[in-house]
Structure 1
Amino acid sequence: MRKKTLWLLGISLLFLILVTVLGIVWEDAAQQVDFARKNLPPGTGGLFGTDWMGRNMLKRTVAGLSLSIRLGLLTAAISAAVALALALLASLGGGLMDSLVCGLINLVMGIPHMLLLILISYSLGKGFRGVAAGIALTHWASLARLLRAEILQIRESPYVQISEKLGKKPWWIAWNHIVPQVSRQFVTGLILLFPHAILHEAGVTFLGFGLSSEQPAIGVILSESMSYLITGKWWLALFPGAALVLVTLGFQAIGQSLGRLMDPGSAHE
């Protein structure tokens, strides 16, 4: 079981790294226009065909996925850090702080997710900065609630109570006792934030409130392809959409694999 999990983790990591690196290498090639080769189907126009401007859809798709992965890594890391910090404040800061953090979590979770993301992205001028800020500020609430519940249980542990009676500072207890105990939940939650971030980036860009049309983002590719589906250019949406789903499943597989590997019980499997 453990060997199978390691194989799944390795394959998923290798695939995502390959997509990210190739996307950076092909970033300029993905923008090259060749009207002599426009609207070619898969096969005659390359593995994924070409679009209405003769751009290679394989390179354009991989470049868009690479951008989405890098954006997802950045925003997921920020969201996870915010979630951990607020969970520690709620659990160690006393009743008032706990009430404030819980109220903030309920407020963020009570607003429709995509609506809040669009409002933040649009107010910051859209583009990479607006989308990154919108995703980072809307994806931490669920993880923060989970970590807070875990930390509250850990606070009842004898070694934590002994440290409090010995006069240890809250930050010392958090760093030495609590953070190591919630590391598995934190890492798993961090990894599982990636697919959410990538899908929401594609969604908000598809709606026109995200990345600019000059960037080869998956949301831009899917949005532009809608005008050509009725004319039979099915490959313009099928391959980018399938690739997006595949990357999302890759991140999900990594998160689940890491969760199993970091589970103490998995050492005996």
Structure 2
Amino acid sequence: MLSRTVCGLSTSIYIGLIAALVSSAIAFILASIASFGGRVADGVVCWLIDLVMGVPHIVLLVLISYALGRGALGVFVGISVTHWPSLTRVLRAEMLQVRSEPHIQCARSLGSSWVAIAFRHILPAVLPQFLVGVVLLFPHAILHEASITFLGFGLSPEEPAIGVILSEAMGYLSSGSWWLAVFPGLALLIAVLLFERVGASLRRLMSKEGVQQ
């Protein structure tokens, strides 16, 4: 059980890390489009944010995973395309604030394109918020991967995953084998809380640095 739990956590962490990075990249691209693409682009991105946030994550994850034939690909794509709205909203607000600063207007008047400005000036300014967003997305991605796998719409039963272990353990709870579900679930909870703690600490650190500056 310890071996399966460790292997399951490594699988969840791997999928969660890649999905969080992809979702964060989507958030940065959409926030850049909203900030520099004009009023119409901003309205479309805000509408997409409200649309995705209006539907529960688990429902979207199940639908996307089922449409892609379940498995690791469905889990990865589902998590990647459903966890970007909150970070997009934060990055959009930061980019709009940085965009109004004098040195950005000066660079624009000198002929720099918005793409060049975004990568040379905007990205370094919003990088702290971006890194915090990636770290905070990570535990949510891990937890949702285990959730849809537990429901039977994620990884296949042959793969080592916490969701698979918990799903199998449900059949043994009535016989008194409670440890088959408690210890893997506790390991998942500890991993999620640790990464969330890291993200919260990083956010406080960035806030203190911003106040000092």
TM-score bucket (shorter structure): over 0.9
Contact 1:261 1:267 in 2 (8 A): no
Partner of residue 85, structure 1: 29
Given the superposition, is the C-alpha separation of residues 173 and 112 from structure 1 closer, same or farther in structure 2, using an over 3 Å criterion? same
Aligned partner of 2:37: which letter?
G
Q: 1:243 aligned to 2:155? A: no
Q: 1:209 aligned to 2:153? A: yes
| Equivalent of 1:222 in 147, 166, 169 | 166
Alpha-carbon separation, structure 2, partners of 1:259 and 1:100: 29
Bigger RCO (CA 8 Å, 6+ sep): 2
Superposition RMSD on alpha carbons, in Å? 1.4
Alpha-carbon separation, structure 2, partners of 1:58 and 1:96: 53
SS of structure 1 residue aligned to 2:83 = coil
Alpha-carbon separation, structure 2, partners of 1:267 and 1:105: 29
Q: 1:190 aligned to 2:134? A: yes
Larger mean CA deviation between 72-81 and 166-175 belongs to 166-175
**The structure with more radius of gyration:** 1
Alpha-carbon separation, structure 2, partners of 1:247 and 1:88: 32
Q: What TM-score do you get using the length of structure 2 for normalisation?
A: 0.95
Identity of aligned residues (%): 58
Alpha-carbon separation, structure 2, partners of 1:153 and 1:72: 31
| Equivalent of 1:170 in 106, 114, 117 | 114
Alpha-carbon separation, structure 2, partners of 1:210 and 1:265: 40
Q: 1:60 aligned to 2:42? A: no
Deviations 1:14-50 (A, max 9, x none): xxxxxxxxxxxxxxxxxxxxxxxxxxxxxxxxxxxxx
Alpha-carbon separation, structure 2, partners of 1:246 and 1:189: 20
Unpaired runs of at least 5, structure 2: none
Aligned partner of 2:100: which letter?
E
More helix by share: 2
Alpha-carbon separation, structure 2, partners of 1:266 and 1:69: 30
Q: CA deviation at 1:260?
A: 3.5
| Equivalent of 1:179 in 123, 145, 149 | 123
Alpha-carbon separation, structure 1, partners of 2:196 and 2:151: 25
Alpha-carbon separation, structure 1, partners of 2:211 and 2:90: 24
For residues 254-265 of structure 1, the aligned pairs below 5 Å read 254-263=198-207, 265=209
Alpha-carbon separation, structure 2, partners of 1:180 and 1:164: 17
Partner of residue 142, structure 1: 86
Q: CA deviation at 1:264?
A: 5.5
Aligned partner of 1:199: which letter?
L
Q: CA deviation at 1:102?
A: 1.1
Partner of residue 127, structure 1: 71
Partner of residue 154, structure 1: 98
Q: What TM-score do you get using the length of structure 1 for normalisation?
A: 0.76
Q: CA deviation at 1:68?
A: 0.1
